[in-house]
Structure 1
Amino acid sequence: MGTANKPPKLLRMEDYPSWADKFETYVQALNYETWTAVEEEYIIPKNENGESYRLSQIAYADKPLFLKEKKMLNIFQQAIKAKIFQLFQYTGSCYSIWHALLITDRGNPDMRKSKIALLKKEFDIFIQAKGESFAQLIERCCYLVNEMKRLKIDKHDYEYIDKLADALPEEWGTIILI
Protein backbone atom coordinates (compact mmCIF):
# COMPACT_ATOMS: atom_id res chain seq x y z
CA MET A 1 0.00 0.00 0.00
CA GLY A 2 2.83 2.42 0.76
CA THR A 3 2.98 4.98 3.53
CA ALA A 4 3.45 8.73 3.73
CA ASN A 5 7.21 8.16 3.50
CA LYS A 6 7.39 5.13 1.19
CA PRO A 7 5.72 4.53 -2.16
CA PRO A 8 3.61 1.41 -2.77
CA LYS A 9 5.88 -1.48 -3.75
CA LEU A 10 5.48 -3.44 -6.99
CA LEU A 11 6.54 -6.97 -6.07
CA ARG A 12 5.04 -8.90 -9.02
CA MET A 13 4.07 -7.79 -12.52
CA GLU A 14 0.64 -9.38 -11.98
CA ASP A 15 -0.02 -6.65 -9.40
CA TYR A 16 0.73 -3.84 -11.86
CA PRO A 17 -2.87 -2.73 -12.63
CA SER A 18 -3.80 -2.04 -9.00
CA TRP A 19 -0.27 -0.84 -8.12
CA ALA A 20 -0.17 1.70 -10.97
CA ASP A 21 -3.20 3.62 -9.64
CA LYS A 22 -1.85 3.66 -6.08
CA PHE A 23 1.62 4.67 -7.28
CA GLU A 24 0.32 7.50 -9.45
CA THR A 25 -1.82 8.83 -6.60
CA TYR A 26 1.10 8.58 -4.16
CA VAL A 27 3.52 10.51 -6.39
CA GLN A 28 0.97 13.15 -7.37
CA ALA A 29 0.06 13.71 -3.73
CA LEU A 30 3.73 13.90 -2.78
CA ASN A 31 4.61 16.41 -5.50
CA TYR A 32 2.67 16.75 -8.73
CA GLU A 33 5.61 18.38 -10.49
CA THR A 34 7.64 15.23 -9.88
CA TRP A 35 4.93 13.14 -11.54
CA THR A 36 5.22 15.16 -14.75
CA ALA A 37 8.60 13.46 -15.32
CA VAL A 38 6.72 10.34 -16.50
CA GLU A 39 4.51 12.35 -18.85
CA GLU A 40 7.27 14.00 -20.88
CA GLU A 41 10.62 12.42 -21.60
CA TYR A 42 13.64 14.27 -20.26
CA ILE A 43 17.03 13.21 -21.53
CA ILE A 44 19.68 13.83 -18.90
CA PRO A 45 22.50 15.80 -20.56
CA LYS A 46 25.76 13.91 -21.01
CA ASN A 47 29.34 15.13 -21.40
CA GLU A 48 31.64 14.23 -24.30
CA ASN A 49 32.52 10.93 -22.54
CA GLY A 50 28.85 9.91 -22.49
CA GLU A 51 28.56 10.33 -18.71
CA SER A 52 25.67 12.19 -17.10
CA TYR A 53 26.51 15.64 -15.80
CA ARG A 54 26.47 16.28 -12.09
CA LEU A 55 23.99 18.82 -10.76
CA SER A 56 26.70 21.48 -10.45
CA GLN A 57 27.45 21.09 -14.18
CA ILE A 58 23.85 21.36 -15.40
CA ALA A 59 22.72 24.64 -16.94
CA TYR A 60 20.58 26.77 -14.60
CA ALA A 61 17.47 26.42 -16.81
CA ASP A 62 17.76 22.60 -16.85
CA LYS A 63 18.19 22.15 -13.08
CA PRO A 64 14.46 21.91 -12.20
CA LEU A 65 13.93 19.31 -14.95
CA PHE A 66 17.04 17.42 -13.89
CA LEU A 67 15.97 17.41 -10.22
CA LYS A 68 12.43 16.33 -11.11
CA GLU A 69 13.82 13.43 -13.16
CA LYS A 70 16.19 12.35 -10.38
CA LYS A 71 13.43 12.51 -7.73
CA MET A 72 11.14 10.39 -9.87
CA LEU A 73 13.92 7.86 -10.58
CA ASN A 74 14.49 7.61 -6.84
CA ILE A 75 10.79 6.93 -6.24
CA PHE A 76 10.77 4.27 -8.98
CA GLN A 77 13.82 2.59 -7.42
CA GLN A 78 12.08 2.48 -4.04
CA ALA A 79 8.78 1.25 -5.48
CA ILE A 80 9.79 -1.40 -7.99
CA LYS A 81 11.48 -4.63 -7.02
CA ALA A 82 14.86 -4.99 -8.76
CA LYS A 83 13.87 -8.24 -10.48
CA ILE A 84 10.99 -6.47 -12.21
CA PHE A 85 13.36 -3.94 -13.78
CA GLN A 86 14.99 -6.90 -15.54
CA LEU A 87 11.70 -7.84 -17.25
CA PHE A 88 11.56 -4.84 -19.55
CA GLN A 89 13.74 -2.52 -21.61
CA TYR A 90 13.96 1.17 -20.90
CA THR A 91 16.36 4.00 -21.65
CA GLY A 92 16.79 5.07 -18.03
CA SER A 93 14.38 7.99 -18.08
CA CYS A 94 11.27 8.01 -15.91
CA TYR A 95 9.14 8.32 -19.01
CA SER A 96 10.67 5.17 -20.53
CA ILE A 97 10.31 3.22 -17.26
CA TRP A 98 6.62 4.10 -16.90
CA HIS A 99 5.82 3.25 -20.52
CA ALA A 100 7.87 0.04 -20.44
CA LEU A 101 5.86 -1.08 -17.38
CA LEU A 102 2.64 -0.28 -19.21
CA ILE A 103 3.70 -2.20 -22.33
CA THR A 104 4.95 -5.14 -20.26
CA ASP A 105 1.62 -5.34 -18.47
CA ARG A 106 -0.45 -5.09 -21.64
CA GLY A 107 1.81 -7.32 -23.71
CA ASN A 108 2.16 -7.25 -27.47
CA PRO A 109 -1.03 -7.47 -29.57
CA ASP A 110 -0.77 -11.25 -30.04
CA MET A 111 -0.24 -11.84 -26.33
CA ARG A 112 -3.11 -9.50 -25.47
CA LYS A 113 -5.38 -11.30 -27.94
CA SER A 114 -4.50 -14.66 -26.40
CA LYS A 115 -5.09 -13.29 -22.84
CA ILE A 116 -8.52 -12.07 -23.91
CA ALA A 117 -9.39 -15.41 -25.51
CA LEU A 118 -8.23 -17.27 -22.40
CA LEU A 119 -10.29 -15.04 -20.07
CA LYS A 120 -13.40 -15.45 -22.24
CA LYS A 121 -12.98 -19.22 -22.20
CA GLU A 122 -12.38 -19.19 -18.44
CA PHE A 123 -15.55 -17.12 -18.01
CA ASP A 124 -17.56 -19.51 -20.19
CA ILE A 125 -16.55 -22.58 -18.15
CA PHE A 126 -16.59 -20.88 -14.74
CA ILE A 127 -17.99 -23.23 -12.06
CA GLN A 128 -17.28 -23.95 -8.42
CA ALA A 129 -14.25 -26.23 -8.14
CA LYS A 130 -14.51 -29.37 -6.04
CA GLY A 131 -13.70 -28.58 -2.39
CA GLU A 132 -13.70 -24.83 -3.06
CA SER A 133 -15.24 -22.68 -0.33
CA PHE A 134 -17.78 -19.96 -1.06
CA ALA A 135 -15.19 -17.29 -0.17
CA GLN A 136 -12.69 -18.81 -2.61
CA LEU A 137 -15.34 -18.94 -5.34
CA ILE A 138 -16.22 -15.27 -4.82
CA GLU A 139 -12.53 -14.30 -4.78
CA ARG A 140 -11.89 -16.19 -8.03
CA CYS A 141 -14.98 -14.65 -9.60
CA CYS A 142 -13.96 -11.11 -8.60
CA TYR A 143 -10.47 -11.65 -9.98
CA LEU A 144 -11.91 -12.92 -13.28
CA VAL A 145 -14.34 -10.00 -13.57
CA ASN A 146 -11.63 -7.44 -12.75
CA GLU A 147 -9.23 -8.94 -15.31
CA MET A 148 -11.96 -8.91 -17.95
CA LYS A 149 -12.80 -5.27 -17.24
CA ARG A 150 -9.10 -4.35 -17.24
CA LEU A 151 -8.72 -5.87 -20.70
CA LYS A 152 -11.95 -4.15 -21.78
CA ILE A 153 -13.96 -7.33 -22.34
CA ASP A 154 -17.50 -6.01 -22.31
CA LYS A 155 -20.14 -8.01 -20.49
CA HIS A 156 -23.34 -6.80 -18.91
CA ASP A 157 -23.66 -7.04 -15.13
CA TYR A 158 -26.48 -9.56 -15.49
CA GLU A 159 -24.08 -11.88 -17.37
CA TYR A 160 -21.65 -11.80 -14.44
CA ILE A 161 -24.49 -12.38 -11.98
CA ASP A 162 -25.92 -15.27 -14.01
CA LYS A 163 -22.49 -16.88 -14.31
CA LEU A 164 -21.90 -16.66 -10.55
CA ALA A 165 -25.40 -17.98 -9.80
CA ASP A 166 -24.84 -20.92 -12.17
CA ALA A 167 -21.52 -21.70 -10.49
CA LEU A 168 -23.10 -22.11 -7.06
CA PRO A 169 -24.12 -25.58 -5.84
CA GLU A 170 -27.66 -26.78 -6.59
CA GLU A 171 -28.71 -26.50 -2.93
CA TRP A 172 -28.36 -22.73 -3.29
CA GLY A 173 -31.11 -22.69 -5.96
CA THR A 174 -33.85 -21.59 -3.58
CA ILE A 175 -31.73 -18.85 -2.07
CA ILE A 176 -30.80 -17.56 -5.53
CA LEU A 177 -34.43 -17.64 -6.64
CA ILE A 178 -35.47 -15.59 -3.61
Structure 2
Amino acid sequence: MNDIFMNPFSDMYAFAGNSGDDTSSSNNNENPPNARKKLSDALEVESAFGTYNKPPKLMAIEEYSRWAKKFEDWLMAFAFPSWKSLKNGYDAGSKKGETLSTSDEIESFVAEQKCIALLFQSVREDIISLIEYSSSKDLWEKLKNKCLGSKEIVKNKKKLLKKEFDLFGCLKNESVYKMIERFEQLKLELARHEISYPQDELVDKLFDSLPDEMDWQYYALMLKNTIKPADLTVDLLIERLESHELELKKTYKVNHSSYQ
Protein backbone atom coordinates (compact mmCIF):
# COMPACT_ATOMS: atom_id res chain seq x y z
CA MET A 1 0.00 0.00 0.00
CA ASN A 2 1.37 3.37 -0.95
CA ASP A 3 1.67 5.85 1.87
CA ILE A 4 0.73 8.79 -0.33
CA PHE A 5 -2.34 8.99 -2.51
CA MET A 6 -1.97 10.35 -6.02
CA ASN A 7 -4.80 11.98 -7.89
CA PRO A 8 -4.14 11.42 -11.60
CA PHE A 9 -6.54 14.23 -12.51
CA SER A 10 -4.75 16.89 -10.48
CA ASP A 11 -3.26 19.84 -12.36
CA MET A 12 -0.17 19.34 -10.24
CA TYR A 13 0.99 16.57 -12.59
CA ALA A 14 0.78 18.67 -15.75
CA PHE A 15 4.47 19.50 -15.60
CA ALA A 16 5.39 15.84 -16.04
CA GLY A 17 4.10 15.56 -19.60
CA ASN A 18 5.55 16.78 -22.90
CA SER A 19 3.37 18.80 -25.26
CA GLY A 20 5.95 18.65 -28.03
CA ASP A 21 9.58 18.11 -28.87
CA ASP A 22 12.14 19.80 -26.64
CA THR A 23 13.99 22.56 -28.46
CA SER A 24 16.62 23.22 -25.82
CA SER A 25 18.18 21.52 -22.83
CA SER A 26 17.01 24.38 -20.60
CA ASN A 27 13.40 23.15 -20.90
CA ASN A 28 14.32 19.88 -19.20
CA ASN A 29 15.84 21.59 -16.18
CA GLU A 30 13.55 24.59 -15.74
CA ASN A 31 12.76 25.01 -12.03
CA PRO A 32 12.79 21.26 -11.13
CA PRO A 33 13.06 21.94 -7.36
CA ASN A 34 10.00 24.21 -7.48
CA ALA A 35 8.05 21.66 -9.48
CA ARG A 36 8.97 18.86 -7.07
CA LYS A 37 8.02 21.00 -4.07
CA LYS A 38 4.72 21.91 -5.72
CA LEU A 39 3.98 18.24 -6.30
CA SER A 40 5.04 17.31 -2.77
CA ASP A 41 2.77 19.98 -1.27
CA ALA A 42 -0.16 18.79 -3.39
CA LEU A 43 0.36 15.17 -2.34
CA GLU A 44 0.59 16.19 1.31
CA VAL A 45 -2.73 18.03 1.08
CA GLU A 46 -4.37 15.10 -0.69
CA SER A 47 -3.07 12.70 1.94
CA ALA A 48 -4.34 14.87 4.80
CA PHE A 49 -7.78 15.78 3.41
CA GLY A 50 -8.48 13.09 0.83
CA THR A 51 -9.77 13.44 -2.71
CA TYR A 52 -12.90 12.39 -4.55
CA ASN A 53 -11.47 8.89 -4.99
CA LYS A 54 -9.26 8.54 -1.91
CA PRO A 55 -10.02 9.11 1.80
CA PRO A 56 -7.63 11.04 4.08
CA LYS A 57 -4.73 8.99 5.40
CA LEU A 58 -3.61 8.41 8.99
CA MET A 59 0.19 8.43 9.03
CA ALA A 60 0.83 8.80 12.79
CA ILE A 61 -1.06 7.67 15.88
CA GLU A 62 -0.75 11.17 17.34
CA GLU A 63 -2.87 12.53 14.48
CA TYR A 64 -5.79 10.15 15.14
CA SER A 65 -8.31 12.61 16.59
CA ARG A 66 -8.08 15.03 13.68
CA TRP A 67 -7.94 12.24 11.10
CA ALA A 68 -10.98 10.41 12.52
CA LYS A 69 -13.20 13.47 12.02
CA LYS A 70 -11.95 13.98 8.46
CA PHE A 71 -12.41 10.28 7.64
CA GLU A 72 -15.99 10.25 8.92
CA ASP A 73 -16.83 13.41 6.98
CA TRP A 74 -15.30 11.92 3.82
CA LEU A 75 -17.19 8.63 4.32
CA MET A 76 -20.51 10.45 4.77
CA ALA A 77 -19.90 12.45 1.59
CA PHE A 78 -18.64 9.71 -0.74
CA ALA A 79 -19.67 6.36 0.79
CA PHE A 80 -22.73 6.98 2.94
CA PRO A 81 -23.90 3.32 3.17
CA SER A 82 -20.41 2.42 4.43
CA TRP A 83 -20.59 5.21 7.00
CA LYS A 84 -23.91 3.79 8.27
CA SER A 85 -22.25 0.38 8.56
CA LEU A 86 -19.36 1.95 10.48
CA LYS A 87 -21.64 3.71 12.97
CA ASN A 88 -24.48 1.21 13.35
CA GLY A 89 -22.75 -2.10 12.74
CA TYR A 90 -23.31 -4.73 10.07
CA ASP A 91 -26.74 -6.23 10.75
CA ALA A 92 -26.25 -9.36 8.60
CA GLY A 93 -23.86 -10.83 11.15
CA SER A 94 -21.22 -13.20 9.84
CA LYS A 95 -23.17 -14.15 6.72
CA LYS A 96 -20.88 -14.80 3.78
CA GLY A 97 -21.33 -13.04 0.48
CA GLU A 98 -22.29 -16.16 -1.46
CA THR A 99 -25.20 -16.88 0.91
CA LEU A 100 -26.84 -13.50 0.41
CA SER A 101 -29.96 -13.39 -1.72
CA THR A 102 -31.94 -10.16 -1.38
CA SER A 103 -30.77 -6.86 -2.82
CA ASP A 104 -30.83 -5.24 0.64
CA GLU A 105 -28.56 -7.95 2.04
CA ILE A 106 -26.15 -7.57 -0.85
CA GLU A 107 -26.07 -3.77 -0.55
CA SER A 108 -25.39 -3.99 3.19
CA PHE A 109 -22.65 -6.56 2.62
CA VAL A 110 -20.98 -4.45 -0.09
CA ALA A 111 -21.14 -1.33 2.10
CA GLU A 112 -19.57 -3.24 5.00
CA GLN A 113 -16.74 -4.69 2.91
CA LYS A 114 -16.09 -1.33 1.28
CA CYS A 115 -15.87 0.33 4.70
CA ILE A 116 -13.29 -2.21 5.89
CA ALA A 117 -11.29 -1.79 2.68
CA LEU A 118 -11.34 2.01 3.01
CA LEU A 119 -10.12 1.81 6.60
CA PHE A 120 -7.18 -0.39 5.63
CA GLN A 121 -6.50 1.89 2.67
CA SER A 122 -6.56 4.98 4.90
CA VAL A 123 -4.48 3.87 7.88
CA ARG A 124 -0.74 3.23 7.77
CA GLU A 125 -0.21 -0.52 7.64
CA ASP A 126 1.78 -0.95 10.85
CA ILE A 127 -0.95 0.88 12.82
CA ILE A 128 -3.90 -1.23 11.69
CA SER A 129 -2.54 -4.54 10.38
CA LEU A 130 -2.48 -6.46 13.69
CA ILE A 131 -5.96 -5.46 14.88
CA GLU A 132 -8.38 -8.37 15.04
CA TYR A 133 -11.95 -7.40 14.23
CA SER A 134 -15.38 -8.84 13.48
CA SER A 135 -16.88 -5.88 11.59
CA SER A 136 -16.06 -2.39 10.39
CA LYS A 137 -17.59 -0.94 13.56
CA ASP A 138 -15.48 -3.27 15.69
CA LEU A 139 -12.36 -2.32 13.70
CA TRP A 140 -13.17 1.39 14.08
CA GLU A 141 -13.57 1.13 17.85
CA LYS A 142 -10.43 -0.97 18.32
CA LEU A 143 -8.42 1.44 16.17
CA LYS A 144 -9.61 4.29 18.40
CA ASN A 145 -8.57 2.37 21.52
CA LYS A 146 -5.16 1.65 20.03
CA CYS A 147 -4.53 5.28 19.11
CA LEU A 148 -6.02 6.97 22.15
CA GLY A 149 -5.61 4.20 24.73
CA SER A 150 -8.14 2.59 27.04
CA LYS A 151 -10.75 4.67 28.86
CA GLU A 152 -8.56 4.68 31.97
CA ILE A 153 -5.50 5.86 30.03
CA VAL A 154 -7.51 8.59 28.30
CA LYS A 155 -8.92 9.67 31.66
CA ASN A 156 -5.42 9.96 33.14
CA LYS A 157 -4.14 11.85 30.09
CA LYS A 158 -6.95 14.36 30.44
CA LYS A 159 -6.13 14.87 34.11
CA LEU A 160 -2.47 15.50 33.31
CA LEU A 161 -3.31 17.94 30.52
CA LYS A 162 -5.70 19.90 32.73
CA LYS A 163 -3.02 20.06 35.42
CA GLU A 164 -0.49 21.24 32.84
CA PHE A 165 -2.89 23.98 31.78
CA ASP A 166 -3.41 25.08 35.39
CA LEU A 167 0.36 25.29 36.00
CA PHE A 168 1.26 26.82 32.64
CA GLY A 169 3.49 29.89 32.75
CA CYS A 170 6.53 31.54 31.22
CA LEU A 171 9.77 29.75 32.09
CA LYS A 172 12.88 31.48 33.38
CA ASN A 173 14.75 33.28 30.57
CA GLU A 174 12.11 32.15 28.06
CA SER A 175 10.95 34.54 25.37
CA VAL A 176 7.25 35.28 25.06
CA TYR A 177 7.39 33.89 21.52
CA LYS A 178 8.63 30.53 22.83
CA MET A 179 6.04 30.58 25.59
CA ILE A 180 3.30 31.12 23.00
CA GLU A 181 4.65 28.17 20.99
CA ARG A 182 4.30 25.95 24.06
CA PHE A 183 0.83 27.35 24.71
CA GLU A 184 -0.29 26.56 21.15
CA GLN A 185 1.07 23.02 21.47
CA LEU A 186 -0.80 22.57 24.74
CA LYS A 187 -3.99 23.85 23.10
CA LEU A 188 -3.53 21.29 20.34
CA GLU A 189 -3.11 18.45 22.85
CA LEU A 190 -6.19 19.61 24.74
CA ALA A 191 -8.21 19.63 21.52
CA ARG A 192 -7.00 16.13 20.63
CA HIS A 193 -8.38 14.89 23.94
CA GLU A 194 -11.62 16.85 23.52
CA ILE A 195 -10.84 19.26 26.36
CA SER A 196 -12.07 22.78 25.70
CA TYR A 197 -11.79 26.06 27.59
CA PRO A 198 -13.79 29.23 26.87
CA GLN A 199 -12.00 32.11 25.17
CA ASP A 200 -11.91 34.26 28.29
CA GLU A 201 -10.14 31.52 30.29
CA LEU A 202 -7.54 31.06 27.55
CA VAL A 203 -6.98 34.81 27.38
CA ASP A 204 -6.64 35.06 31.17
CA LYS A 205 -4.18 32.16 31.18
CA LEU A 206 -1.98 33.93 28.63
CA PHE A 207 -2.08 37.18 30.59
CA ASP A 208 -1.21 35.34 33.82
CA SER A 209 1.68 33.57 32.06
CA LEU A 210 3.49 36.74 30.96
CA PRO A 211 6.88 37.56 32.52
CA ASP A 212 6.91 39.61 35.73
CA GLU A 213 8.89 42.43 34.10
CA MET A 214 7.14 45.78 34.49
CA ASP A 215 7.11 46.40 30.74
CA TRP A 216 5.02 43.28 30.12
CA GLN A 217 2.72 43.94 33.05
CA TYR A 218 2.08 47.52 31.89
CA TYR A 219 1.45 46.30 28.34
CA ALA A 220 -1.01 43.66 29.58
CA LEU A 221 -2.86 46.31 31.59
CA MET A 222 -2.99 48.59 28.55
CA LEU A 223 -4.52 45.81 26.41
CA LYS A 224 -7.13 45.03 29.04
CA ASN A 225 -8.11 48.70 29.25
CA THR A 226 -8.21 49.42 25.50
CA ILE A 227 -9.80 46.27 24.07
CA LYS A 228 -13.28 45.13 25.05
CA PRO A 229 -13.25 41.69 26.72
CA ALA A 230 -15.68 40.37 24.10
CA ASP A 231 -13.28 41.42 21.32
CA LEU A 232 -10.09 40.14 22.94
CA THR A 233 -9.64 36.65 21.50
CA VAL A 234 -6.68 34.35 21.96
CA ASP A 235 -5.53 34.91 18.38
CA LEU A 236 -5.69 38.69 18.74
CA LEU A 237 -3.82 38.59 22.05
CA ILE A 238 -1.10 36.37 20.61
CA GLU A 239 -0.73 38.74 17.65
CA ARG A 240 -0.36 41.74 19.98
CA LEU A 241 2.10 39.98 22.30
CA GLU A 242 4.34 38.84 19.47
CA SER A 243 4.28 42.31 17.93
CA HIS A 244 5.19 43.89 21.27
CA GLU A 245 8.10 41.51 21.75
CA LEU A 246 9.46 42.47 18.33
CA GLU A 247 9.23 46.14 19.29
CA LEU A 248 11.11 45.44 22.52
CA LYS A 249 13.86 43.68 20.57
CA LYS A 250 14.15 46.58 18.12
CA THR A 251 14.36 49.08 20.98
CA TYR A 252 17.03 47.01 22.69
CA LYS A 253 19.13 46.85 19.52
CA VAL A 254 18.87 50.60 18.98
CA ASN A 255 19.80 51.38 22.58
CA HIS A 256 22.76 49.00 22.51
CA SER A 257 24.00 49.79 19.02
CA SER A 258 27.78 50.11 18.70
CA TYR A 259 27.30 53.12 16.38
CA GLN A 260 25.93 55.40 19.10
The TM-score range, normalised by the shorter chain, is 0.7 to 0.9
CA RMSD of aligned residues (A): 2.6
Cα offset, 1:125, TM superposition: 2.3
Cα offset, 1:165, TM superposition: 1.7
Gaps of 5+ in 1: 47-52
Aligned to 1:174: 218
Structure 1 pair 8–177 and aligned structure 2 pair: CA distance change class (3 A): same
Rounded Cα–Cα distance in structure 1 between residues aligned with 2:79 and 2:143: 21
Residue 32 of structure 1 pairs with residue 80 of structure 2: yes
Q: Which amino acid aligns with 2:183?
A: C
Aligned to 2:187: 145
Structure 1 pair 138–44 and aligned structure 2 pair: CA distance change class (3 A): farther
Q: Is the CA contact (8 Å cut-off) linking 2:210 and 2:216 kept in structure 1?
A: yes
Q: Which has the larger radius of gyration?
A: 2
Q: Which amino acid aligns with 2:204?
A: D
Q: Is the CA contact (8 Å cut-off) linking 1:44 and 1:66 kept in structure 2?
A: no
Relative contact order, CA 8 A, sep 6+: which one is greater?
1
Query: TM-score if structure 1 supplies the norm length?
Result: 0.77
Structure 1 pair 83–164 and aligned structure 2 pair: CA distance change class (3 A): same
Q: Which amino acid aligns with 1:167?
A: S
Rounded Cα–Cα distance in structure 1 between residues aligned with 2:82 and 2:197: 38
Identity over aligned pairs, percent: 34
Q: Which amino acid aligns with 1:160?
A: L
Q: Which amino acid aligns with 2:89?
A: E
1:1-178 matches, within 5 Å, as 1-42=49-90, 43-46=93-96, 53=97, 57-61=98-102, 62-86=105-129, 89-129=131-171, 130-131=173-174, 134=177, 136-148=178-190, 151=193, 153=195, 155-169=197-211, 170=213, 171-178=215-222
Rounded Cα–Cα distance in structure 2 between residues aligned with 1:6 and 1:154: 31
Rounded Cα–Cα distance in structure 2 between residues aligned with 1:21 and 1:95: 15
Say which SS state the counterpart of residue 158 (structure 1) adopts.
Answer: helix
Structure 1 pair 128–32 and aligned structure 2 pair: CA distance change class (3 A): same
Structure 1 pair 22–59 and aligned structure 2 pair: CA distance change class (3 A): same
Say which SS state the counterpart of residue 39 (structure 1) adopts.
Answer: helix
For residues 134-176 of structure 1, what are the alpha-carbon distances to aligned partners after superposition, in whole Å with 9 as ceiling and x for unaligned?
A: 2x54343234234435545564433322221222333432332
Rounded Cα–Cα distance in structure 2 between residues aligned with 1:154 and 1:27: 26
Rounded Cα–Cα distance in structure 2 between residues aligned with 1:93 and 1:27: 16
Structure 1 pair 153–59 and aligned structure 2 pair: CA distance change class (3 A): closer
Q: Is the CA contact (8 Å cut-off) linking 2:66 and 2:192 kept in structure 1?
A: no
Structure 1 pair 8–137 and aligned structure 2 pair: CA distance change class (3 A): farther
Gaps of 5+ in 2: 1-48, 223-260
Q: Is the CA contact (8 Å cut-off) linking 1:145 and 1:160 kept in structure 2?
A: no
Rounded Cα–Cα distance in structure 1 between residues aligned with 2:176 and 2:54: 36
Query: TM-score if structure 2 supplies the norm length?
Result: 0.55
Structure 1 pair 58–124 and aligned structure 2 pair: CA distance change class (3 A): same
Structure 1 pair 40–155 and aligned structure 2 pair: CA distance change class (3 A): closer
